[in-house]
Amino acid sequence: MEEVIDLETRIRAFEEVLNVCAPLYRTGDDLSRALCQLWVTMSASVLLSCVESTYPQEVEAARSLSRFQSLLGARALLLNSENIARALANLLDALKSGDRAGSTKAIGETGILELCPETARLHDELETITASTLGQGRIIPLVELALFAVEAREFERATRYISEALTLYPESPELHVLLTLKGLIALNSGNIAEAKSYLIESVRVCEEDELQSVRSFSVLLANGLVACGEMDVVIVYLTRCASVWKHQQRQIAAWIAMLRHGKQPDFGASTFLGAMNTPKLRIPLLVARCLLLDSKPKSPRMTRAQRQEILAEYTRRNLAAIKGKLDIGKN
């Protein structure tokens, strides 16, 4: 029963990504479409892994019936999201009732097999999508690709994506994520000292950027270091985060108190971090960030007035997204 509940959660998450991405894909520019294709494909990969781990025979049977093994299906899914939603509902019903034939049929109808070929090819296809983007905003899908690669434990690929992103002169929001990912890669290789250094550097780059406080901050590396017993450096990190994300000082103080008592905080229970990482909020904000990066002055010396204008526009888009009113076609 727990497996079905977890699967239902994954299906709902995939549906949310489709619901958010479909209108953005239809009305957005090339960067918006690339981000939508990345998110739909990455979400489909997570869903397929969940289905396959519990119902391997049904997935194998569906694969044998599928004639397509191309990421081109991402566009079809985005343009036919209502049909895919019905297929997902049929899949859940079939799995709950133990209908193996119905499950096999529904898996094929969801389109997730077309989106998710074998691992190496999947990442190659994702690279192709990212490579098709141009402009300063291109760094956004590249950072998302690096994050997905780290989560998939494709560390060699992630290192390559991070190196490429660093050549695009990332600002603090993107640099915060890239340094976090470098720290996670170091932690995976057993280099705790290097991981700790990246953790502190990831918050340092945020401390002088007024734009950063209207975005989220990462606790992925902090969580990994706590699991290794490195409480002190995480306390330093969180203390400095509290000076940037002042609206989260109470939550951060509670985490610090737990760490000082040798306990591991449940970072995932944070209402703020949870909300900021939902597809409904995060994807439109990433699209908004792409648009703002592409609209910024080309001069490396930005005037105070230009900076304030960008801050005002970015903040407006954040608030619009939080209220569910972001309309890429009109903003």
pLDDT at 326: 39
List Cβ neighbours of 1 (8 Å cut-off, separation of 6 or more): none
Residue 96, CA distances (Å) to 3, 4, 58, 317 in order: 10, 7, 13, 40
Number of residues assigned to the chain: 331
Is residue 58 a contact partner of residue 104, using CB atoms and an 8 Å limit? Answer: yes
Same domain, 71 and 143: no
CB contact at 8 A, 178 and 159: no
What does residue 237 show for φ and ψ, rounded to 5 degrees?
-60, -50
Q: Do 119 and 143 belong to one domain?
A: no
CB atoms within 10 A of CB 86: 12
Res 184: pLDDT = 98
pLDDT of 309: 65
Per the CB < 8 A criterion, the answer to whether 222 and 234 are in contact is: yes
Residues 200 and 122 in one domain: no
Q: Could you tell me which of 12, 59, 44, 51 has the C-alpha nearest to residue 112?
A: 44
Distance CA 219, CA 269 (A): 12
pLDDT at position 231, please?
A: 97
The pLDDT assigned to 289 comes to 85
Classify the phi-psi angles of 326: left when phi > 0, otherwise alpha if psi is within -120 to 50, otherwise beta. Answer: beta
* Helix orientation angle between 30-54 and 279-295, rounded to the nearest 10 degrees: 150
Look at residue 303 in the predicted model and tell me its pLDDT. Answer: 58
Does pTM top 0.75 for this prediction?
yes
Examine the fold and report which residue of 133, 155, 179 is the final residue of a domain before the chain moves on: 133
Over 57-71, what HEC string results?
Answer: HHHHHHHHHCCCCCC
Going residue by residue through the chain, which has 331 residues, state the pLDDT in tens, using 9 for 90 and above: 455 567 888 888 999 999 999 898 888 888 888 899 899 888 988 888 888 888 888 888 887 776 544 444 566 667 677 888 888 888 888 888 888 888 888 888 888 887 776 666 788 888 888 888 888 889 999 999 999 999 999 999 999 999 999 999 999 999 999 999 999 999 999 999 999 999 999 999 999 776 665 678 999 999 999 999 999 999 999 999 999 998 899 999 999 999 999 999 999 888 888 888 889 889 988 888 888 787 665 444 455 565 566 666 666 666 554 454 434 333 3
Q: What share of the chain is helix, strand, coil (3-state, %, to 5)?
A: 75, 0, 25
* Of the residues 84, 109, 133, the one at which a domain ends: 133
Residues 189 and 267 in one domain: yes
Residue 315, burial from CB neighbour count under 10 angstroms (0-12, 13-18, 19+): middle
Q: Are 185 and 94 contained in the same domain?
A: no
Contacts for 189-193: CB closer than 8 Å, 24+ residues apart: 189/155, 192/225, 192/228, 192/230
Domain extent, residue 94, equals 1-133
Overall domain count for the chain: 2
